[in-house]
Amino acid sequence: MSDKAADVVPALQVERLRKVFPIRGARRDAPAEVSAGPGLLGRGLITRRRGTRPGASAELVAVDDVSFAVPPGRSLAVVGESGSGKTTVARMIVGLERPTQGRILVAGRERSWRHVSSRERRRRAREVQIIFQDPYSSLDPRQTVRKCLDEALRLHFDWNGDRRNARVEELLEQVGLARRQADTLPRALSGGQRQRVAIARALACEPRVLVCDEAVASLDVSIQAQVLNLMSDIRDVTGVTYLFISHDLAVVRQVSDDVIVMRTGHVVESGPTEQVLESPQHPYTKRLLAAIPRPGWRPTAISDAAESTGPAA
Amino acid sequence: MNVLELDALAVDLLVEGRLSRVIHEVTLNVAESQAVGLVGESGAGKSMTSRAVMRLLPAGAVIHGDIRFWGRSVLAMDTGQLRAFRLRDAAMIFQDPRAHINPVRTIGDFLTEALLERGESRHRADAIVSGLLSAVGITDAARRMRQYPHELSGGLLQRVMIAAALAIEPKLLLADEPTTALDVTTQSDVMVNLGTQRRERRLAMLFITHDLELAAAVCDRIAVMYAGYLVEDSPAASLHAEALHPYTAGLLASRPSPSARSRRLAAIPGRPLSAFEAGDGCVFASRCPFAVDRCRAERPMLREFASGRVACHRVEEIRGRLSAVASGTAAYE
């Protein structure tokens, strides 16, 4: 995305990524709106049955023709509203969903081949780690913080106990958790502290790419600022590459160098964050920006008419 | 005349067999046509305050002080009066419409229930409700009324919730994070409808949110709660230029902006306290960069200051610094 990075192998690259979910069990004569949830048909996401997949009467195109590259150490944000496909992109990159079409490369190496050894799967997991939105459901409630971090280290490195312990201490220090918190269960921690544990667990594998899926969206404002500062410190120290999935343009401005704006599975605008947010070209980006409350803001009806009243049957 | 008066409201909840105080002496008025934003982080007691107004608190809760609607004590109402109060005078909009609208009844059933209960004819109730649906920006009301909640998107459903609240022609609207679960563009649409209806009907509104910027934009006054205490009550227009409490200034400074990247966000250190964790002094003292010994020893009372009210010992001294912090020109320290 920036010129000087063109000759560097991108830390993360996706090419023409596409993901289609079949919608099973829908009656063929029923409106797809009913079977697929509200609003999707009107927004162009659902197509009626074309192929011959048994049981599928409609398809949901969650991601369509998405390409981008992130140079090492840079930070790319994917923004969009619900149903834009941004989380599906993240899940495919991490390996939680399989792309229907397209390629995903980490440090130039393809990771979308299907049948691989468990060693290769572990190697892939080490390269890309994810931090989820909700730290209340992403940690094992019966595992102490230390066990949680130790497990990640044991799985990915051939280290002895002392070395792992030292690394756990180092990770705790890095994410700003006190040493005494290492032996507590998640239920004794606040939301912000849990999210720090999730960050430490992701960092334990020394990933090249850290995917943050709305990682600060559920935190209180004062805690959100702390975690955003922490993430920027971590990038300075480790040089990790970030992929931020977010609906929040203010957060995006703070954490990303480049941004792509997604809507109904498509990329509608991309470029350096500063440029996109200061002079947005696409009407949808403009609408997103106009909808953010700020001093002097007055809410206006900005969704287009078709959306604000939902799809016509 | 004030539509709603909270007079030294305190709430004790039954936690593990013991009463613990979650709201401390909140005194707050909402006048006719006025919108007051009740802002705070999780555990600040803002939802509990609004539920106390409707007397929708968990079993075993004890309310101290008084809550008055048009001068009449809500706490003194008997069952019949309380029912009438909820059916005619005050309406509540919740954060998650899907959890508060009966999934097995149609939208029309949901919307007309209160009207039929009040003795309106089916024909008239339908007419009122379809008028309301158009008023909140839902076209083809007749079709929507035959549909079920799962057939509507979150934004539409929240508009249905607003229409339901307006259907009883209340004087007081309690909106508890009505747009938090919505996309920003949908939030903007919903706020337009809510604002228009509120102004046309001269409704008093208590608007509960964690989003200080949103509250400042759509409310007349902002009341900031922290750990069960009201720490500031200021006109919304002057909030950015002159935050009175260090917590408010910190909240304004810690929120990133879409129009400028700061090298480092001015994070408030520590985490939000719960009401029962508060010690003797100011509840915010442990996180406040301006705290002195007096703040840790003696709890500040909410008092009149400048154009609002604030609970801070040092507001006179630190006023200038707070403005600089809130506008991002000074570090939060």
pLDDT at A311 over 90: no
B195 with B265, same domain: the answer is no
The contacts of residue A83 (CB under 8 Å, 6+ apart) are A39, A40, A43, A45, A264
Contact A223 B262 (CB under 8 A): no
Please tell me the predicted confidence (pLDDT) of residue A270. 97
At A240-278, the pLDDT tens digits run 999 999 999 999 999 999 999 999 999 999 999 999 999
B36 with B122, same domain: the answer is yes
Please tell me the predicted confidence (pLDDT) of residue A39. 47
| Dist CA A233 CA B318 (whole Å) | 30
pLDDT at A51 over 60: no
Q: Which fold has domain A6-306?
A: Rossmann fold (3.40.50)
**B238 belongs to a structural domain:** no
Domain count for chain B: 2
B132 with B216, same domain: the answer is yes
Reported confidence tier of residue B76, pLDDT bands at 50, 70, 90: very high
Of the candidates B155, B185, B269, the beta carbon closest to that of A302 is on B185
**B228 belongs to a structural domain:** no
Please tell me the predicted confidence (pLDDT) of residue A41. 47
A308: which 2 tokens? 């604000």
Please tell me the predicted confidence (pLDDT) of residue B199. 92
Question: Locate tokens 């498509």: which residue?
Answer: A266
Tell me whether B213 touches chain A (CB under 8 Å). Answer: yes
Please tell me the predicted confidence (pLDDT) of residue A55. 53
Task: Establish how many alpha carbons lie within 13 A of residue A312's alpha carbon, considering only the half-sphere containing its beta carbon.
Answer: 4
Q: How close, in Å, is residue A92 to chain B by CA atoms?
A: 23
B41 with B114, same domain: the answer is yes
Q: State the average pLDDT for chain A.
A: 85
Regarding predicted confidence, which is higher, A220 or A37? A220
At B104-141, the pLDDT tens digits run 999 999 999 989 988 899 999 999 999 999 888 888 89
**B333 belongs to a structural domain:** no
Of the candidates A38, A223, A249, the beta carbon closest to that of B152 is on A38
B28 with B113, same domain: the answer is yes
CA angle B265, B270, B271 (to 5 degrees): 100
Reported confidence tier of residue B91, pLDDT bands at 50, 70, 90: very high
Least confident of A26-35, A179-188, B82-91, B257-266: A26-35
- Nearest Cα to B183, choosing from A292, A55, A30? A292
Contact A299 B152 (CB under 8 A): no
Distance of alpha carbon A294 from its chain centroid, rounded?
A: 26
B178 with B287, same domain: the answer is no
**B232 belongs to a structural domain:** no
Mean pLDDT value across residues B299-303: 95
pLDDT at B324 over 90: no
Give chain A positions within 8 Å (CB) of B154. 82
Give chain B positions within 8 Å (CB) of A308. 137, 155, 186, 189
B216 with B270, same domain: the answer is no
The residue of chain A nearest to residue B268, with distances taken between CA atoms, is: A222
Contact A247 B192 (CB under 8 A): no
**B235 belongs to a structural domain:** no
Q: How close, in Å, is residue A234 to chain B by CA atoms?
A: 13
- The range of the structural domain enclosing residue B42 comes to 2-223
**B168 belongs to a structural domain:** yes
Of the candidates B152, B186, B213, the beta carbon closest to that of A293 is on B213
Of the candidates A190, A291, A307, the beta carbon closest to that of B187 is on A291
Domain boundary among B191, B223, B255: B223
The contacts of residue A304 (CB under 8 Å, 6+ apart) are none
The residue of chain A nearest to residue B151, with distances taken between CA atoms, is: A38
B124 with B264, same domain: the answer is no
B91 with B127, same domain: the answer is yes
Q: State the average pLDDT for chain B.
A: 92
Of the candidates A220, A251, A253, the beta carbon closest to that of B42 is on A220
Residue of B231, B271, B332 for testing the chain A interface, max A β-carbons within 10 Å: B271
Output the pTM of the full model.
0.87
pLDDT at A286 over 60: yes
Please tell me the predicted confidence (pLDDT) of residue A309. 40
The residue of chain A nearest to residue B250, with distances taken between CA atoms, is: A222
B50: which 2 tokens? 């609004």
Please tell me the predicted confidence (pLDDT) of residue A308. 39
In chain A, where the domains are located: 6-306
Reported confidence tier of residue A295, pLDDT bands at 50, 70, 90: confident
**B230 belongs to a structural domain:** no
- Nearest Cα to A302, choosing from B137, B97, B161? B137
At A74-121, the pLDDT tens digits run 999 999 988 899 999 999 999 999 999 999 999 999 887 777 788 888
Reported confidence tier of residue A159, pLDDT bands at 50, 70, 90: very high
pLDDT at B193 over 90: no
Q: How close, in Å, is residue B221 to chain A by CA atoms?
A: 14
B57 with B177, same domain: the answer is yes
Give chain A positions within 8 Å (CB) of B152. 38, 310
Let me know: does B164 contact B97? Beta carbons within 8 Å.
no
pLDDT at A289 over 90: yes
Contact A82 B183 (CB under 8 A): yes
Distance of alpha carbon B252 from its chain centroid, rounded?
A: 18
The residue of chain B nearest to residue A278, with distances taken between CA atoms, is: B259
Q: At what angle do helices A118-127 and A145-156 cross, to 10 degrees?
A: 120
Contact A38 B151 (CB under 8 A): yes
Regarding predicted confidence, which is higher, A51 or A194? A194
Q: How close, in Å, is residue B150 to chain A by CA atoms?
A: 7
**B198 belongs to a structural domain:** yes
B53 with B111, same domain: the answer is yes
What is the domain-level CATH number for residue B12?
3.40.50.300
Please tell me the predicted confidence (pLDDT) of residue B330. 81
| Dist CA B21 CA B23 (whole Å) | 6
- HEC secondary structure over B118-162: CCCCHHHHHHHHHHHHHHCCCCCHHHHHHCCHHHCCHHHHHHHHH
At B5-39, the pLDDT tens digits run 999 999 999 888 889 999 999 999 999 999 999 99
Mean pLDDT value across residues B159-177: 93
Of the candidates A192, A274, A293, the beta carbon closest to that of B271 is on A192
B12 with B150, same domain: the answer is yes
Contact B271 A277 (CB under 8 A): no
Return the percentage of chain B with pLDDT > 90, whole number.
68
